[in-house]
Amino acid sequence: MLRKTKIICTLGPATDDPNVLRELMKGGMNVARFNFSHQTHEEHKKRFDQIVAMREELGLPIATLLDTKGPEIRLHKIKGGKVLLKAGQNFTLYTKECLGDENGASITYAGLPEDIQVGTSILIDDGLVALKVTSFDAQKIECTVLNDGSISDRKSINVPDVHLSLPYISEKDEQDIVFGIQTGFDFIAASFVRSAQDIMELRAILNQHNCHWMKIIAKIENRDGVDNIDEIIRLVDGVMVARGDMGVEIPFEQLPAIQKLIIKKAYLAGKQVITATQMLDSMMQNPRPTRAEASDVANAIYDGTSAIMLSGETAAGKWPIESLQTMVKIAEQTERNIHYKKRFAARAAETDQEITNVTNAVSKATVTTAHNLLATAIITVTKSGNTAKMISKFRPNVPIIGGSTDPRVYRQMNLSWGVYPVMLQEKSTTDELFDHVVDMAAQAGYLNSGDLVVITAGVPLGISGTTNLIKVHVVGNILLAGTGITHGNICANLCVAKNEEEARHNFTKGDILVVPQTSNSMIDLIRDSSGIIAEQDGLNSHAAIAGLTLDKPVIIGAQNATTILKNGITVQLDAERGIVSSSDQHAI
């Protein structure tokens, strides 16, 4: 069973060992995250180059994600590096930089007095110390400390439920974005997105540098982002439910409902959605997760998240490989418990009113066809990756194999739920391209001879957003077809015989018996066979009744089977579809 939910691992000191990084890449990491709140460009470039070299070596479509620092407020330096504050004492925040002490400290955002009012809550260090504003002017904010706690250099400042006029793109962020463009990152995760305007500012920088390939993931981590989620989703390629700062900015009891809301809105819009922060936080120190963490990861998957993310667990924890292995186990087990066909029926009803374009309609029809025909996989040929995302939106119960000729799209599809990318070469006709993508999927181990797949693409080729075609295809050389009786898909050698005497001479236990017809005197051969192919037709024929009685896969009405098929060759018998095909897994 292929895992559908994707996993993002954050790189850091714990992954600098090449052996650790290789194990993460081989063990299920789909996307490597680079946290630009820490480290220099030189350090990030070294890690990026290591990822590129290793993904080429392993032949894996590992994508890279640049996570910006974003607009944030922090304390400046504190005398001695750290001071203890007591509940009830007065504490002043200054807008002009100075060295802080137990009576006050300066902040990095001079415009904060313009955004607050008396009674506003200000939180330091992710809420470990809470302040309440008692008075303020342009130079300082007087506060009362609400609880005991220590503060230290550069700790974060949060102002819950207050719209801040802080500029969205800082000088550092712009430098990081340009570095990301020049380096070749696949995704940018934009921190603290508040509105569509923030996304437009970011996209303007990308456009200035002729960067049209980098996909934008909006990190939702404050009240403005939640309130404006619909307009944000419309403009981005995906969203991240960033529960760390969100849990400080918004009351924690509201987080579960907000998480479910954002995940649902994102996947119904055909956008990637990542659930992040503290998913296996205890594994920073411990080799096993808490029960609550295991449930947290599973619930995000039940909600329909595209991806789950490890942060400090892999970047700086003691157990980076074990953290990934744990997440893989939870994801695989959770997915076994989900009835995707029932979910599709429910979601299809939800999206009926929203299907107003050809790509959406064809994508939904593709999933319906795959479910009805019990297909092994859905294959999409896509220029931009959008078709794969549209099919992923419906969360089918079969793998989505995404083929693209663009290396960036090939990697970017690795973040989409249930999509398994294959790299394609350019082809001049639709038939050549379809044959090529099936062959590449078989070479990757996703398909076997005799598998039925549903292919979708756009015609004419090479034009993004033209998904308008569905094709049902059987993998492999189809040698003959008839009427399938019972279930079963087996691969075995053939015993081809014109009569019972010849059958007894050629037969080896486990062979598929190929005869004009069967009879009671051949019951011992039928019992020892893997299956039966009979030229005689009719549901009341001996072969049909024997197959049902002995629970053997049987194909009847296989015209000229004893002439077409050759004794001793290995074939794939698919009784459910009534076909016999070559066993060569790479044939088309």
Catalytic amino acids?
A: 33, 74, 219, 277
CA distances from 419 to 6, 43, 321, 410, 465 (A): 9, 31, 23, 10, 18
Q: How far apart are CA 278 and CA 242, in angstroms?
A: 10
Closest-CA residue to 251 (of 274, 226, 276):
226
Q: How far apart are CA 47 and CA 36, in angstroms?
A: 12
Q: How far apart are CA 398 and CA 419, in angstroms?
A: 10
Closest-CA residue to 243 (of 208, 278, 267, 213):
278
For residue 187, list its beta bridge partners: 65, 215
Phi and psi of 460, rounded to 5°? -70, 160
Q: How far apart are CA 558 and CA 483, in angstroms?
A: 7
Find the farthest-apart pair of alpha carbons in the chain and give their distance in angstroms, rounded. Answer: 105
Is 66 within 8 Å of 39 (Cβ atoms)?
no
Residue ranges with strand state E in 86-128: 90-94, 104-106, 121-124
20 φψ region: left (φ > 0), alpha (ψ -120 to 50), beta (else): alpha
